[in-house]
């Protein structure tokens, strides 16, 4: 039986080659005469000439803008506060994110903060209050993976405490997102692979659930996952393949805008919670961290959600259907880990080049448990002691 659900996706998508040239038109459409914070990451967007092209388009359209670059993976609260300072100083009223998930998440945090100047934005990430306002946000996407361009979520790391937390509100869904697959051509292979893992995980978190599911939602999710796996393999050998880049970019948006969770119980998201503490403490890439932790989580919970793991193995990984349900489920877990290895992603924490101590594992599990209110999970309810065991298994 399907659960009740609301599906809300207000973001306008402008997809295809050279669509970034339309950015000034869409800023005016949604912002009138906007005063824009141009927010971006590091060298790539500058070296490719994208930032220069965007600035030229804004200047030509007489759109006032101020720049703030330097966003890093696992975006920092200190950078958010710098953006808030610029926003207040220049009376900015629109945030334009040029980059991937880290830049978009940082832009959302800045937009929250500028819209509610009497409050500390970190309160939203600690879940001590809910957002009541947010400045409008536009996106030029340069990295496929996070899905932040259509999602209601933002994840920020407090660099004073190394605490990584997420905030969720429909108010921060971007007004528009420009998706030109060619802008991802210059991504390093590692970053491309990390994005592909993140897309899969956003879908899988909603897929491995107990309770209600809808056949149409399952079919969409399974097709999306198969497409990501197929096209990720193509990009390993042909990084300039436009069609594969396009498939991955669109899958990124669809995987995290709520579509693949319609009718279920809201999803599991234990793997994400565990990874947030891993990347919060060690600064690892989010997609790689998910690949490193997922297999250990899956083997810890699969017996409690056997019907879904069996379906995944057959429908997505196309494994041999002989043997018991448990054997089929385990073949599916092995198959997705083999895929991770094929695209040069780790399948253990040690594969990330780190080796957490027992105390660090205990600290991560404690922080994770606090962050999720004691426990989380749909495939299986996971508590602090379970988190320790999963980290330990992934650390072998």
Give the domain extent around 89.
12-183
Q: Please indicate, yes or no, whether residues 252 and 278 belong to a single structural domain of this protein.
A: yes
Eight-state DSSP code of residue 311 = H
Out of 183, 203, 235, a domain closes at 183
Domain of residue 222, CATH code: 1.20.1090.10
285: in domain: yes
Q: Please indicate, yes or no, whether residues 161 and 199 belong to a single structural domain of this protein.
A: no
pLDDT for residue 1 is more than 80: no
Domain of residue 54, CATH code: 3.40.50.1970
pTM of the complete model: 0.94
pLDDT for residue 42 is more than 90: no
pLDDT at 322: 97
What average pLDDT does this structure show over 191-208?
97
Q: How many CA atoms lie within 13 A of 96 on its CB side?
A: 28
Helix (H, G, I), strand (E, B) or coil at 126: helix
pLDDT at 165: 95
CA separation, residue 233 to residues 210, 226, 240, 316, 392 (Å): 31, 11, 13, 15, 30
The model's pLDDT over 283-297, given as tens digits with 9 standing for 90+, comes to 999 999 999 999 999
33: in domain: yes
The model's pLDDT over 27-40, given as tens digits with 9 standing for 90+, comes to 999 999 999 999 99
pLDDT at 44: 83
What percent of the chain is modeled with pLDDT above 90? 96
Residue 368: pLDDT band with limits 50, 70, 90:
very high
| Structural domain count, the chain | 2
Out of 131, 161, 183, a domain closes at 183
Q: What is the radius of gyration, based on Cα positions, of the chain? A: 20
Q: Please indicate, yes or no, whether residues 171 and 202 belong to a single structural domain of this protein.
A: no
């Amino acid at each position: 039986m399907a659960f009740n659900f609301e599906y809300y996706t207000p973001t306008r998508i402008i997809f295809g080659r050279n669509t970034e040239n339309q950015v000034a038109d869409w800023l005016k459409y949604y912002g009138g005469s906007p005063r824009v914070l141009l927010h971006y990451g590091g060298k790539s967007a500058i070296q490719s000439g994208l930032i220069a092209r965007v600035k030229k388009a804004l200047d030509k359209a007489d759109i006032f803008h101020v720049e703030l670059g330097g966003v890093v993976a696992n975006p920092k609260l200190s950078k958010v506060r710098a953006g808030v300072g610029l926003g207040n100083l220049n009376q900015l009223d629109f945030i334009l994110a040029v980059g991937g998930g880290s830049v978009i998440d940082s832009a959302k945090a800045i937009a929250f903060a500028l819209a509610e100047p009497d409050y500390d934005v970190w309160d939203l990430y600690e879940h001590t209050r809910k957002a009541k306002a947010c400045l409008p946000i536009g996106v030029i996407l340069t990295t496929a993976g996070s899905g932040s361009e259509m999602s209601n979520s933002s994840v920020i790391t407090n660099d004073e405490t190394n605490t990584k937390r997420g905030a969720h509100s429909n108010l921060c869904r971007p007004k528009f997102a420009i998706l030109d697959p060619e802008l991802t051509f210059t991504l390093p292979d590692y970053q491309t692979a990390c994005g592909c893992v993140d897309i899969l995980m956003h879908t899988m978190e909603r897929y491995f659930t107990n309770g209600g599911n809808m056949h149409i939602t399952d079919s969409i999710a399974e097709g999306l996952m198969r497409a990501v796996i197929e096209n990720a393999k193509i990009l390993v050998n042909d990084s300039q393949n436009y069609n594969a880049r396009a498939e991955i970019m669109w899958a990124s948006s669809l995987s995290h805008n709520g579509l693949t969770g319609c009718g279920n119980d809201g999803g599991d998201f234990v793997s994400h919670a565990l990874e947030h503490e891993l990347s919060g403490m060690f600064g690892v890439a989010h997609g790689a961290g998910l690949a490193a932790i997922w297999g250990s989580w899956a083997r810890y919970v699969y017996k409690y959600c056997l019907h879904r793991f069996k379906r995944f193995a057959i429908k997505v990984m196309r494994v041999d259907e002989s043997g018991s349900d448990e054997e089929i489920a385990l073949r599916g877990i092995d198959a997705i880990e083999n895929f991770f290895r094929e695209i040069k992603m780790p399948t253990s924490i040690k594969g990330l080049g780190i080796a957490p101590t027992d105390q660090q594992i205990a600290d991560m599990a404690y922080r994770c448990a606090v962050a999720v209110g004691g426990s989380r999970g749909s495939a299986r309810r996971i508590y602090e002691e379970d988190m320790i065991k999963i980290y330990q298994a992934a650390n072998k």
